[in-house]
Structure 1
Amino acid sequence: MAAKAYVCDGAKIECQLCTKPEGELKVTSNEIKIQDKKFANAKDKEKMNLIFQGNCKKSPYQSSPCQAVIKVEDWQGVADALIQDDPALLEDSIIMCTYGGAPIKITDHLQKNEPTSLEPIMAPVVMPAEDPKIVNIDWKEDDKDPKIKGWIEATTLNIMPGEEVRFYLDEKK
């Protein structure tokens, strides 16, 4: 199941019983932001939050502005995540207007699903500026273990991890 988007300040809302059905959700409940916009939560349900410009079709002669008569219940379909102690609103959250008896739906949550920056998948490989070389070679011996006669310890410069280094031993030297 795909993750649902959170609702941001200025989200588009809709009530089919408004003569101008498209409205706007104004977040006043908190200052927590997502993508530089305030998050909406379940407290954003007052007249000052649900902004409609038209009149309610259920009012006598459709004469009452929605803003004057709107009366809502609690938001349904909210997130489990809390924003300042109240559930965050999701793109499919709805709230019922009890005056008109119609649901108010979110039609555009305004959360963008585009990355703000792209990080590289893996770090670039930096090639050495100089030719690889062996700086120092030492013969080491272990007096404690008679099975090990000795080993070579080499200090290198500009040899990349995984590159092969070969030593040719001559018992005379």
Structure 2
Amino acid sequence: MGKKYVLDGAMLQCNQGMKPAKLLVTQNKKVKIQGKFQATDKETQVPETFGQCKLKPSGSSYLPCVPALQPWTKTAKKSTLGGSKKFLFDDSECMCATGGKVTIMQHAQINSAGSVKETFKNIAMMIPGAMMGNDKAPKVVESYWMDETGKERIDSLDYGEKAKLFVLTENMDAGETVTVNVKDKKKQDFKEGEKKLKYTGIVQADGTAAMKLVTIDENWIETEKEQ
């Protein structure tokens, strides 16, 4: 199972605080998941605070917590939002200037693994008709997904897992390039503003073509890696 992105309202905990508190996302007002803004490594706002701070004893009690979050670590590797900001994962963490360690208790995402798996199946089901037509015309007659090694067929994909898309062609010569456009059956965007995906592959002697390696995550962002 892959990592999950952290959203506005995620529950944080500090090992020197007395209670959990919600993260307020202020550094991203563009990218959302499930209707909530994604948290970045520049987030510092914890309005409710962690209660009292164990590092600030005062008589028989402790002084109130004043969160002073430092830069987050274990974040996404690539910068986003046109700058140096990086999205947080559910295992991201940071230090408070007072000395506490802040971690993610709950990322604020609703579990939607089932819908991702269903969409994964829908994608494969849409491809066979992509090039149908004249009996003598080049066409795709079957599509299926294989695990990352290309040895075993699969019909679902969890977040962060990788798979290879294969198609079986007719009336195409070995060495030719086959291209298919894929749309979601429910007409959902794969990525904001993108309603279809394009895949290409080289036809082999047996008529099959291995497409590019694909990773699907709950943000519907597709990343490709050359085979």
Confirm or deny: 8 A CA contact 1:6 1:89 kept in the other structure: yes
Question: Which residue pairs with 2:76 in the alignment?
Answer: 79
Question: Which residue pairs with 2:4 in the alignment?
Answer: 5
- CA distance in 1 between counterparts of 2:80 and 2:34 reads 15
Question: Which residue pairs with 1:142 in the alignment?
Answer: none
Question: Which residue pairs with 1:158 in the alignment?
Answer: none
Q: Which runs of 5+ in 2 are unaligned?
A: 127-227
Deviation at 1:53, TM superposition (A): 4.7
Letter in structure 1 aligned against 2:125: M
Deviation at 1:30, TM superposition (A): 1.3
Q: Return the structure number with greater relative CO, CA threshold 8 A, min gap 6.
A: 1
**Is residue 57 of structure 2 the alignment partner of residue 60 of structure 1?**
yes
Q: Which runs of 5+ in 1 are unaligned?
A: 124-173
Confirm or deny: 8 A CA contact 2:7 2:109 kept in the other structure: yes
> Structure 1-normalised TM-score?
0.59
RMSD: 2.4
Confirm or deny: 8 A CA contact 2:14 2:50 kept in the other structure: no
Deviation at 1:60, TM superposition (A): 3.0
SS in 2 for 1:82: coil
Write the deviation string for residues 89-115 of structure 1: whole angstroms up to 9, x where unpaired. 11100011131x221000111223412
- CA distance in 2 between counterparts of 1:33 and 1:6 reads 10
- CA distance in 2 between counterparts of 1:87 and 1:55 reads 30
- CA distance in 1 between counterparts of 2:56 and 2:43 reads 24
Larger radius of gyration: 1
SS in 2 for 1:122: helix
Write the deviation string for residues 51-91 of structure 1: whole angstroms up to 9, x where unpaired. 4251111113244221xx33232101011243322010111
Give the number of the structure whose residues are more often strand, by fraction: 2
**Is residue 35 of structure 2 the alignment partner of residue 36 of structure 1?**
yes
Write the deviation string for residues 120-151 of structure 1: whole angstroms up to 9, x where unpaired. 4536xxxxxxxxxxxxxxxxxxxxxxxxxxxx
Q: 1:43 to 1:105 in 2, by over 3 A?
A: same
Q: 1:75 to 1:51 in 2, by over 3 A?
A: farther
**Is residue 119 of structure 2 the alignment partner of residue 122 of structure 1?**
no
Question: Which residue pairs with 1:93 in the alignment?
Answer: 92
Question: Which residue pairs with 2:22 in the alignment?
Answer: 24
> Structure 2-normalised TM-score?
0.46
Q: How many percent identity over aligned positions?
A: 33
- CA distance in 2 between counterparts of 1:23 and 1:55 reads 12
Deviation at 1:116, TM superposition (A): 7.0
- CA distance in 2 between counterparts of 1:60 and 1:72 reads 20
SS in 2 for 1:57: strand
Deviation at 1:117, TM superposition (A): 9.1
Letter in structure 2 aligned against 1:122: M
Moved over 4 A (4+): none
